[in-house]
Structure formats: structure tokens, C-alpha cells
Amino acid sequence: MPAIRNDPPFPDDAVSNMVSGNGSRSAVRLHQLRYFIAAADYGSFRKAAAALAIQESSISRRIRDLEDELGASLFVRYSGGVRLTVAGQEFLRNARHALRQIDIGVTKVAAVGRAEQGLIKVGIFSSLASGFLFDLLRTYGQRHPNVKIDIIDGSPPEHVAAVRNLNLDVAFITGMPVWDGCEAEHLWCENVFLVLPDDHPLANKPDLGWADLASERFIVTDGAPGLEIHEYLVARLADVGRKVEIQTQQVGRDNILSLVAVGQGLTLTSEATTGAKFPKITYRKIEGEVLPFSMIWSDRNDNPACRRLLSLARSMSKSHLAAPK
């Protein structure tokens, strides 16, 4: 019977250091740990080999290599099998812990790869009150409940810069532009609506056109999408030969609607916003005005959860664009 070496117990981080190669010894291979644990559990190299579907000589050789690398005998060999030495008993506890941590890590990485877990940062330029984007994010959340979605408001240039720098995974913005360093794909369209007090003379007009709005005062937010609405109004009302009066208010998108309600001016919004009900305001569609929306992403982005969102967006877009209006 081989002599038992009286080696000191292993410190708690010994296995982790040896597995990762951080210690002074050679890196312990994972299969050596698995063979060692199996031999300890079965009390026999032969039974462990049968359970692992490998040759008994392979287990014996790998465990001998492991003992040489560690500088300690892990088993006492005898005719009926093997039993752990004192050093082996200490090593077993650490080996189980190390493999358990590795298995947990593998499971988590696999879940992220399947988009079961993770994080997506999404830039938006449209309301989430209703519409395509609302349906998209709700469906994605139902299918991938463990993926966290961070929503970031902002203007298209801000979002594109963030996507380009991989600070955003994807952005949903108006238009169908071409942006350097980004991929773009048209997904859906929304009608343009005028927001006005419910007692305004235009609230009950059957059909609204730009000529009806030429003498009105408009208000926009100083944040997104205020600048874009300002430019949109200037371009459209210039077509009917009028200079538009537009005031910028230092409030958010929701408070702009409240200012409309108290008579400070009119504003524009996209169709998705009309799903949000505010007291004392009315939404009226402007005939012939449609906003296209696109998603912007980087082909350098390898976030699996984002890739699933892009795929779902394409699938839902086909149904949305094919649906009768």
C-alpha cells in the first residue's frame, strides 16, 4: 500500500487558483477534478470509470497526474477500491465548491446567450402609450421576462451617436435616414396628430390640413422631440406661405400636453401618443401626414438579447405593414 503523505490542508482558494492557473503550480484541468470527485463518490476507479463511460486507466492516470501537480496523495489505494486521505478529504470540499461555481457560471452565460437573461438599452423617440413600439416591447417582455429593458429618451442624433459607440443597443427613431457606422431598417409608420384644447374651434372640424393651422400658435418642449417638431412645423407651414409662431417651453413631453389644455398653444404628436388620455385636450389627425419609424443598431453589437429584439421587431413589422389600414 502506498505511503500516505502528511500534507497540510488546502486553503479555501487553492482550487480556484490552481484551476485558473494563478498559483505557482500548473493549472488543474477541469476533467481532473471531475474524475477525482467521481472516484471519491464511488470509492473505486473502476466504478467511477464506468459511470463516466471512460477507461479505468484514464481515471487512474489523470488522478495520479493531479496528485503530482498538487504534491499530495489524494487516495489510499487498496484491492477493493480507494479511500480519501486527509488531504483528499479537504481537497474534495474545495473541488466540489469550485466545480459548482463553474457550473453556475456556465449556466448563466448560456442563459445570456439564449437571451433568457441580460440587459437591453433602448433609445426611443416615440411615445410608449400605444402603437407598434408599445406592442413590440410588451411582446418581448412576455417572451423574455428575465431580460431587463432600459428605456432612454432622446433625439435621433443623440441616439445614433450612442448606438455607434455601443452605449445603446438599439434606437427607434423617425425617418428612414442613412447613418454612418450604423445599420437602419424601416419598421412602421404613424399618422401625425394635432393636439388642441377640446373647446378649440378646430376640435370638431372634419378634415384638418396645414392651411387650417397657419394662424395658430404652437408650443414645443426644449427636449426631445421639441426641436424635431419645431423643424417639422416650419417646413410644413412654409408650404402654405405662413410664418409659424412657435414657443419653446422648458417642460417635458407630458407637461406640454397640459399646457395645451390650459390654452398656451397647440402642438403636434405622433399616433402612439394618442393612447395617453389627458383631460381637456383632443387629438386630431392631420390629413396626409405620416411619419416613418426605423430601428438603428450597430453590426458590432454582439448582445444576444438585442439580436432577439431585432428579430422580433422585423417579424412584427411584416405583420404591421401588411395589415389593412
38: CATH: 1.10.10.10
Q: Is residue 1 part of a domain?
A: no
Domain final residue pick, 73, 98, 113: 113
| Structural contact between residues 283 and 269, judged by C-beta atoms closer than 8 angstroms | yes
Buried-state track 181-219, b at ≥16 Cβ within 10 A, e below 16: ebbbeebbbbbbbbbbbeebeeeeeeebebebbeebebb
Asked whether residue 241 falls in the same domain as residue 307, the answer is: yes
Give the mean model confidence (pLDDT) for residues 307-318.
92
Specify the CATH number for the domain of residue 224. Answer: 3.40.190.290
My answer on whether 84 and 158 are in the same domain is: no
| One domain for residues 135 and 208 | yes
pLDDT in tens, 135-177: 999 999 999 898 999 999 888 889 999 999 999 999 998 887 7
The residue range of the domain holding 30 is 14-113
Share above pLDDT 90 across residues of the chain, in percent, rounded to a whole number: 38
pLDDT at position 154 is 84
Q: What is the pLDDT of residues 43-79, one digit of tens each?
A: 999 999 999 899 999 889 999 999 888 888 999 999 8
Residue 106 lies in a domain: yes
- Return the pLDDT at 2: 37
Confidence bin at 20 (pLDDT 50/70/90): very low
Residues 234 and 287 placed together within one structural domain of the fold? yes
Confidence of residue 243 (pLDDT cuts 50, 70, 90): confident
Does one domain contain both 49 and 72? yes
- Report the pLDDT value the prediction gives residue 114, as an integer from 0 to 100: 53
39 and 171 together in one domain: no
Three-class SS of 185-212: EEEEEEEEEEEEECCCHHHHCCCECHHH
Q: Which three cell numbers stand for residue 23?
A: 498559483
Asked whether residue 100 falls in the same domain as residue 157, the answer is no
Q: Quick one: pLDDT at residue 21?
A: 45
- When pLDDT is cut at 50, 70 and 90, the band that residue 7 belongs to is very low
| % pLDDT > 70, the chain | 84
Residues 97, 46 within the same domain: yes
The domain boundary residue, chosen from 84, 113, 142: 113
Number of folded domains that form the chain? 2
Residue 258 and residue 294 in one domain: yes
- Tell me what the pLDDT averaged over the chain comes to: 83
Residue 67 maps to a domain: yes
In the predicted model, what is the mean pLDDT of residues 8-28? 44
At which of 78, 113, 148 does a domain end?
113
Q: Do residue 18 and residue 79 come from a single domain?
A: yes
Residue 8: inside a domain:
no
Nearest to 39 by CA among 28, 30, 50, 29: 50
Question: Is 6 inside any structural domain?
Answer: no
> Both 201 and 102 in a single domain?
no
The answer to whether residue 56 sits within a structural domain is: yes
CB within 8 Å of 325: residues ≥ 6 apart: none
The answer, yes or no, to whether residue 309 has pLDDT greater than 90, is: yes
The string over 266-277, giving b where at least 16 C-beta atoms fall within 10 Å of a residue's C-beta and e elsewhere, is bbbbbbbbbebe
254 vs 160 pLDDT, higher one: 160
Compute the distance between CA of residue 56 and CA of residue 81 in angstroms, rounded to an integer.
12
Provide CB contacts within 8 A for 122, sequence distance 6+: 137, 149, 150, 151, 152, 168, 169, 170, 171, 172, 309
Asked if residue 2 belongs to a domain, the reply is no
Residues 297 and 87: their CA atoms lie apart, in Å, by 55
Q: What is the mean pLDDT of residues 304-313?
A: 92
Residue 163 lies in a domain: yes
User: pLDDT band at residue 28, thresholds of 50, 70 and 90?
Assistant: low
Domain identity same for 82 and 126: no
Work out the burial of residue 79: count CB atoms within 10 Å of its CB; fewer than 13 is exposed, 13-18 middle, 19 or more buried: exposed
pLDDT above 50: residue 18: no
| Mean pLDDT, residues 36-44 | 91
For the beta carbon of residue 163, count every other beta carbon within 10 angstroms.
27
Predicted pLDDT of residue 22: 45
| CA distance linking residue 286 with residue 293, whole number of Å | 18
